[in-house]
Chains A and B, each alone.
Chain A
Amino acid sequence: MDLYGKGFSRLANIVLIILSVVCVLPLLLLVTSSLASEQSLLQNGYSFWPRELSLESYKYLWYSRSQILTAYKMTILATTVGTLSNLTITTLMAYPLSRKGLPGRNFFSFMVFFTLLFNGGMIPSYLMWVQVFHIKDTFWALILPNLLMNGFGVIVMRTFFSTNIPDEVLEAARIDGAGETRTLVRIVLPLSTPILSTIALLSGLAYWNDWINGLYYLVKRTDYYTIQNLLNRLIASADFIANNAANSALTAGVTVPSVGIRMAIAVIALIPIMIIYPFLQRGFVKGIVIGGVKG
């Protein structure tokens, strides 16, 4: 019997090792391809084992670094502004909804919940943002549509507040003369760091990875492109970056390694997440568990 159990555990290890390799190997293909010389890419295609290694793709990206740096700046800016706003608005919405005595609580909760069940779809939403709020080709296009507050986040946070903050604590604060704002900031929030970090993490990931808002709303102002938007544009036309770089005197006489450059820029976009992820891993797993089991 025991042997049987051990055998199973060994099988589980083998399966998970294979799956882990399957998860990582495709990313490795990006990296090895970005390190291949243009010549070997043209001859042998993208591969795990390039004939000839070279940094020429990265060198070329270095020439057009200003475009990439601008895109990174936009990504960081949009992620920071978006995540902080999301966290603030979600908290301010979730806390009142967690208060049992609040008149109209059920109505407002339903208003939030209903957004998860029924929506108007992309066309009405696009036309409203563009024709009524004029966010096309502005920075706000990266922040406002869809990502600013998620009804699901509100519900998860509300549940956390009502199950983890005892009524007696709130009552005691009230007797001590603390107002609602003070109670929220001084008492509730310090007790709620797990849920706050979960919501921040998920919102941060959504902003960091978002390219859909840029695709819909940034048409002329490509200087607002985030790194994801830049990548999205590049896969359609690899010369988007080449054109820009070719204008600079630095690149005169350099041939564009357009096959390798694509993979190099994808690697550059991938690096920050891969560096940060191990530190935030626990938070992500916790966030998925909280989010998934409830809904």
Chain B
Amino acid sequence: MQTAFKGIKRKLKRFFPLYVMMIPGLTYIIINNYIPLTGLQLAFKKFKYVQGIWGSAWNGVKNFTYLFKTGDAWTIIRNTLGYNLVFIILGTLFAIFVAIMLNEIKRKKVQQVYQTVILIPYLISYVIVSYITYAALGESNGMINNSILIPLGMEPAKFYTDPKYWPFILTSVQVWKTFGYSSIIYFASIIGIDKAYYEAATVDGAGTWKQITSITLPLIKPVIITLTLLSIGRIFYSDFGLFYQVPMNTGLLYDATSTIDTYVYRGLLETNDVGRASAAGFIQSVLGFLLVLGTNYAVRALEKDQALF
């Protein structure tokens, strides 16, 4: 007992500097991540700004009934899940396609140039992206109306007042901005494949197409599964930049552009409706968490090595 205690003491002394090193990081995650978790209770409270998170009075599930009664809940959940589903399917297919194309480029220098260029949209902030979309879609000044639709004798489109265009616009912008990033991830896993497979296939007379379908795709399947399941785990989260900046927070478009994240922002800072917004935030946090656990469970069942935990 005595010696065991001494052992621990010696160990602690030896590792003491390492614990000190962790202090800033641990302090930060406690403040930035753990304390706000206690704020989830706000979803069940009637929030008063002066009373704060912990001082406000309990309110039962009123925030939730209110949220669902107005129909806002339906719109934002439908949009968040619907867009994410489309992004996952289209984004994944497109990224794999581009990665395979990149792999077919034989000259390394050229390959690198393509990689550099398709990554550019990923580096640009959504604020600047919203300037670009405005330049293209603006009603009186926009490029599409002025240089395409009107010269062709068509009616100018009212992009910023009519929600019907937005599922298409948001999907295009999202794919434009992220495909370079995801195709580079898939490309990296394609280069990781042992060249011997392809050599053997060539000897056997298999063409490029055959090689893609029977070597490349089956061998990157684990990566495809993992990345897809991970994005499903984040299906309750939307990119605030995409849905807030690109439609320029336009009220007329909310039906097609409002997601949980933009709704929470507006509830907190614009409409001063913290109750409903925190109910929406609560749904996002908790269902999001359950989904991550569920998808990890699925990854573990399908590809044991790829599971996160």
Q: State whether the Cβ of B38 lies closer than 8 Å to any Cβ in chain A.
A: yes
User: How far in angstroms is the closest Cβ of chain B from A77?
Assistant: 17
- Measured between beta carbons, the chain B residues less than 8 angstroms from A208 are 125
Give the secondary structure class of A's interface.
Answer: helix
Q: State whether the Cβ of A126 lies closer than 8 Å to any Cβ in chain B.
A: yes
- Measured between beta carbons, the chain B residues less than 8 angstroms from A120 are 33, 36-40, 281, 285
- Identify the closest chain B residue to A219 (Cβ): B269
User: How far in angstroms is the closest Cβ of chain B from A94?
Assistant: 8
Contact with A along B238-276 (1 / 0, CB 8 A): 001100010011000000000001001101110000100
Which interface class (under 10, 10 to 19, 20 to 34, 35 or more) fits A?
35 or more
Quick check: A293 and B188 within 8 Å, CB to CB? yes
Quick check: B245 and A232 within 8 Å, CB to CB? yes
If A5-B208, A26-B132, A29-B135 touch, whether A122 touches B127 (CB-CB below 8 Å) is no
Give the secondary structure class of B's interface.
Answer: helix
Cα–Cα, bound, A122→B281 (Å): 7
Quick check: B134 and A235 within 8 Å, CB to CB? yes
Q: State whether the Cβ of A166 lies closer than 8 Å to any Cβ in chain B.
A: no
Q: State whether the Cβ of B218 lies closer than 8 Å to any Cβ in chain A.
A: no
- Measured between beta carbons, the chain B residues less than 8 angstroms from A148 are 28, 32
- Identify the closest chain B residue to A292 (Cβ): B185
Cα–Cα, bound, A209→B34 (Å): 26
Instruction: Identify which of B34, B120, B202, B265 contacts A23 (C-beta below 8 A).
Output: B120
- Measured between beta carbons, the chain A residues less than 8 angstroms from B181 are 288, 292
- Identify the closest chain A residue to B19 (Cβ): A96
Quick check: B18 and A9 within 8 Å, CB to CB? no
If A27-B120, A46-B141, A121-B284 touch, whether A289 touches B269 (CB-CB below 8 Å) is no
Question: Which A residues contact B (CB, under 8 angstroms)?
Answer: 1, 4-5, 8-9, 11-13, 15-16, 19-20, 22-24, 26-27, 29-30, 33, 41-42, 44-48, 88-90, 92-93, 95-97, 99, 101-103, 108, 111-113, 115, 117-128, 131-133, 144-146, 148-149, 151, 154, 179-181, 184, 205, 208-212, 216, 228, 231-232, 235-236, 259, 262-263, 266, 269-270, 273-274, 277-278, 281, 284-285, 288-289, 292-293, 295
* Additional pairs, 15, CB under 8 Å, beyond known A123-B264, A266-B131: A16-B102, A24-B117, A27-B132, A29-B135, A30-B132, A41-B141, A99-B18, A103-B11, A119-B36, A119-B37, A121-B278, A124-B37, A149-B28, A235-B131, A293-B188
Question: Which B residues contact A (CB, under 8 angstroms)?
Answer: 8, 11-12, 15, 17-19, 21-22, 24-26, 28-29, 31-40, 42, 52-53, 98, 101-102, 104-106, 110, 112, 114-121, 123-128, 130-132, 134-136, 138, 140-143, 145-147, 176, 179-182, 184-185, 188-189, 202, 205, 207-209, 223, 227, 230, 240-241, 245, 248-249, 261, 264-265, 267-269, 274, 277-278, 281-282, 284-285, 288-289, 292-293, 308-309
